[in-house]
Structure 1
Amino acid sequence: MDNEHVKGAADKVSGAVKEGVGKATGDASLEAKGKIDTAKGQAREALGDAKDAMKKPN
C-alpha cells in the first residue's frame, strides 16, 4: 500500500464523517464537502492502483 492509498482512505473516512454530520445537522454545505472529500479519496485510491499496476512487471 503506497502513500496514495493511505491518503485516499483518509479522505474517504473524513468525507463520510462530514457527510454524516451534515445530514444529521441539516448542514447541506458540510454534507456536500463530505461528498467531495469522499470522491477525492476514491480518485486518490484509483491513482494508487494505477501506480501499483505500472510497478508490476508483466
Structure 2
Amino acid sequence: MKQARHLWNILRSAATPALGFIVIAFFGGYALFGANGVLAGFEYRQQIEMRHAELALL
C-alpha cells in the first residue's frame, strides 16, 4: 500500500510540469506553424510579390 501511495505522489508531482510543457509546446507550435505564425509570414510575402507582379502586367 505504501508503494502505491509513493507511486501516486510521484505521478501527481510530475503532472503539473508535464501539463505546463504541453501547453507551452502547443502555443509555441501554433506561433510557428499556425495560420498567423512565423512561417505563414513567408507565404504572405510570396503572395504579395505574386500580386505585385500580376498588377505590373495590368
TM-score, length of structure 2 as denominator length:
0.48
TM-score for both structures, normalised by structure 1:
0.48
Structure with greater Cα Rg: 2
